Amino acid sequence: MSVVPSPVTLARSGRLHRALVRSPLTQAVSAVLTLGLLSTSAQAQQAATTQADDDAARTLQTVQVTANQLGTVTENSGSYTPGTIATATRLVLSPRQTPQSISVITRQQMNDFGLNGIDDVMKVTPGISIVTYDSERTEYYARGFAVQNFQYDGIPMARDSAYSAGNTLSDMAIYDRVEVLKGATGLLTGMGDPGATINLIRKKPTRAFAGSVGLGVGSWDSYRAEVDVSGPLTESGRVRGRAVAAQQDKHSNVDHYQRTNKVFYGILEADIDDSTLLTVGADYQDSDPQGSSWGGIPLLDSTGNFNKMPRSFNNGARWSSWAQYSRTAFATLEHTFGNDWVAKLQLNHQVNGYDAPLGAAAGGNPDPVSGEGVSMWVGKYVGETTSNAADLYVSGTFEWFGRQHELVVGGSVSRKRWINDGYSPQEGYVTGVADYRGWTGDVPEPDWQWGYGNNEVTRESGAYVVGRFDLADPLKLILGSRVANYKAMDIDESGVIVPYAGLVYDLNQNYSVFASYSSIFKPQSNQDEQGRVLDPLEGRSYEAGVKAEFLEGRFNASAAVFQLEQDNYAEPSGGLTPSGGIAYRGLMGVRTKGYEFDVSGQVAPGWQVQGGYAHKIARQQSTKVSTLEPEDQFSLHTTYRVQDGALRGVSIGGGARWQGSTFGTITNPLDGGSLVHRTDPYWLLDAMARYEFNDRLSATLNVNNLLDKHYYTIFNWYSTYTWGEPRNVRLTVNYRF
């Protein structure tokens, strides 16, 4: 089962870790943190002199303007809705003026509900569903497609979910918000997923000194610590810095499993002159698990009945592990010209790696009486992806026929190299499980022998142009196109045109109608049973709807219908490739239809809401596809902060998540044929409460899966399932200075 990833060998990982500890990059991050802490003492003394200074030190500065042409900073806005965003077109627009559906999880919502990881964020994002493969791998789905497109401050980075290397384990301590743009995004990504793109926007330095320290404790001996320091590094304030460090030691309800996550982040901003801003930064994230599962629990026993195992059951060996890491360095140079035009250069270097010696009792179907019939999957995968990307564009306004319009012209180039080594146990290693019912993972790790290697380079480049034309006071037209080039392995696609069009008409002060279109073009690495790479995914994406904006943008709502049409849609064929991977076949004429509703923001003073409903059906002729994603799902999260009176400073909130049934074709243990397994719909409820002891100190209590609902997701290719997390409680204390 060669569907796994690879960081470097353990020895190599150790050398890399030591090198990073000694590296100038790590030392720079440490220096920023040290400067911030030294500055803390001096600033705190000064803050005691005046009430104005005290207010500045109380919280990190609220930034009302756009940061690096990425949209409005949400930190300290107290809001569940963004001010402006730029994910769709590079144009900085309000949600109402963006002609696509978009969901944004703000810093405030992450703080309120303890959304410390990207999995946590995706669970509450309307229109996104999650399939869990095992303890270290999750897959996000939107509009019938797995989401492999990630962006970091708008720079695209594709993910390979089979060889997971840190993307879905990202810690949220370093991010201001997460923007999820629904539908095709080929204008900026070129070769992109038609379902959605996830854009993680990093925190930026603040002009006033401030910071915070957080400590958390949760169910199953889980602990978390977080430090965030930001402010000016020179007396003039022209150089600013920020440093964030967090560590989470998470045990689990699952037997012999635990994971330690570490993240370090440093960023510097320098005003070169009044018109030029230089930003440089780096982040370092590690995930180190013990007792990793692989592939889940067999869905059926040998008699064909549901194989109901305890939620604490872990199919992984005690030595099984899937360590993942990411190292990123980035730089941005932004210059504003006298006519309000802006030129921006972005550079990004990212290394994602994994070291995965894996063993799990996952093959076969257990006899319900004897426990026989199960064997171990055993393999080791060590690899690394090095990605370099550059993006340069200019944007600004111009007059034409007496009206003012906006224009963005740019280009990008990227190179990604993936290396991977696969190992198998030496001959004679026993993989049979004598009694599955008594499995504890207490088996020896095999001696590994090298089996194969991968060394693949992917190159992408393209140029794009997009204009927003003011046709009339209430009518805006967005037109754009990208010329994209892609080269990888046996794939060479050049001069691919990816058009984009959007129209927004303001009905009145609060309501707008919109429509948008984009083409879909995505080369695939999926192979058929003969080892041939599938032709690129091609198609079209249509969307239309209504958007509303109230309270000067503090509350946003949208309703949209969409349709995706694709050819060469990859679906597992049920066989294997010559190298032992999952084989696919390309389906023609796959059509996905659906609708979405989304609300976010302030309903009344102190009352924030964020939620939505999504429905989709994907078919090839009369046959449904993409059935691991529910056809219907709903989420709603809300908090209320008491504004005055005896309970001033108390916040209470809750969340509700529901999804309909999912299903997939699995192997029938009775005859080796196939059958359909369907999950039950389920509701999950969450709750939170916060008490602010004073302007600096607060404590937050979060309860997830309040009613302790039993639920699971399936992965039909493995014919396995994974239990969802039981009820759990977390208490976090935060101090701001």
Quick: pLDDT tens for 671-719: 888 899 999 999 999 999 999 999 999 999 999 999 999 999 998 888 9
Calculate mean pLDDT across residues 365-387: 95
Read off the tokens for 487.
Answer: 């080269």
Read off the tokens for 510.
Answer: 């609060």
121: closest CA among 176, 61, 79, 41? 176
570: closest CA among 609, 615, 626? 626
- Tell me if 499 is assigned to some domain: yes
Expressed in angstroms, the distance from the first to the final Cα of the chain is 51
Residue 655 β-bridge partners: 637, 686
**Lowest-confidence region among 139-153, 212-226, 234-248:** 139-153
Q: What is the pLDDT of residue 68?
A: 61
pLDDT (tens digit per residue) in 542-561: 999 999 999 999 999 999 99
CA 463 to chain centre: 26
pLDDT band at 5 (very low <50, low <70, confident <90, very high): very low
CA 467 to chain centre: 29
CATH number of residue 726's parent domain: 2.40.170.20
| 8 Å CB contact between 102 and 85 | yes
Distance CA 425, CA 438 (A): 23
- Tell me if 234 is assigned to some domain: yes
Site of tokens 């939505």: 612
Question: To the nearest whole percent, how much of the chain has pLDDT over 70?
Answer: 90
Residue 631 β-bridge partners: none
Q: What is the pLDDT of residue 124?
A: 96
Q: What is the pLDDT of residue 192?
A: 62
| 8 Å CB contact between 47 and 56 | yes
Residue 33 has pLDDT above 70, yes or no: no
pLDDT (tens digit per residue) in 268-291: 999 999 999 999 999 999 999 999
Pairing of strands 607-620, 623-625: antiparallel
Residue 328 has pLDDT above 70, yes or no: yes
- Angle at alpha carbon of residue 505, lines to 501 and 510, rounded to 5°: 135
- Tell me if 731 is assigned to some domain: yes
Q: 51-58 and 24-47 are packed helices; what angle lies between their axes, rounded to 10 degrees?
A: 150
* CB half-sphere exposure, 83, CA atoms < 13 A: 17
φ, ψ (nearest 5 deg) of residue 532: -85, 135
| 8 Å CB contact between 655 and 124 | yes
- Tell me if 432 is assigned to some domain: no
- Tell me if 509 is assigned to some domain: yes
DSSP 582-607: EEEEEESSEEEEEEEEEEEEEEETTE
Q: What is the pLDDT of residue 353?
A: 93
Residue 241 has pLDDT above 90, yes or no: yes
Note down the domain range covering 464.
Answer: 10-293+325-356+378-424+445-450+458-736
- Tell me if 439 is assigned to some domain: no
pLDDT (tens digit per residue) in 511-536: 999 999 988 888 887 788 888 888 88
pLDDT (tens digit per residue) in 68-121: 688 899 999 999 999 999 887 888 999 999 999 999 999 999 999 999 999 999
How many domains would you assign to the chain?
A: 1
Residue 35 has pLDDT above 60, yes or no: no
pLDDT band at 537 (very low <50, low <70, confident <90, very high): confident
Residue 48 has pLDDT above 60, yes or no: no
pLDDT band at 191 (very low <50, low <70, confident <90, very high): low
**Lowest-confidence region among 152-161, 266-275, 376-385:** 152-161
Q: What is the pLDDT of residue 57?
A: 35
- Tell me if 608 is assigned to some domain: yes
- Tell me if 30 is assigned to some domain: yes
Calculate mean pLDDT across residues 565-593: 84
Read off the tokens for 623.
Answer: 């046959």
Q: What is the pLDDT of residue 19?
A: 37
Q: What is the pLDDT of residue 493?
A: 87
pLDDT (tens digit per residue) in 625-684: 889 999 999 999 999 999 998 999 999 999 999 999 999 999 899 988 889 999 999 999
Q: What is the pLDDT of residue 26?
A: 38
| 8 Å CB contact between 317 and 441 | yes
What type of residue is 561?
V
Calculate mean pLDDT across residues 403-425: 94
Residue 180 β-bridge partners: 103, 198
Distance CA 359, CA 376 (A): 6
pLDDT band at 491 (very low <50, low <70, confident <90, very high): confident
Q: What is the pLDDT of residue 47?
A: 38
Calculate mean pLDDT across residues 353-364: 95
Q: Is 599 exposed, middle or buried (0-12, 13-18, 19+ CB in 10 A)?
A: buried
Core vs surface per residue 447-482: b (16+ CB within 10 A) or e = ebeeeeeeeeebebbbbbbbbbbbeeeeebbbebbb
- Angle at alpha carbon of residue 568, lines to 564 and 573, rounded to 5°: 115
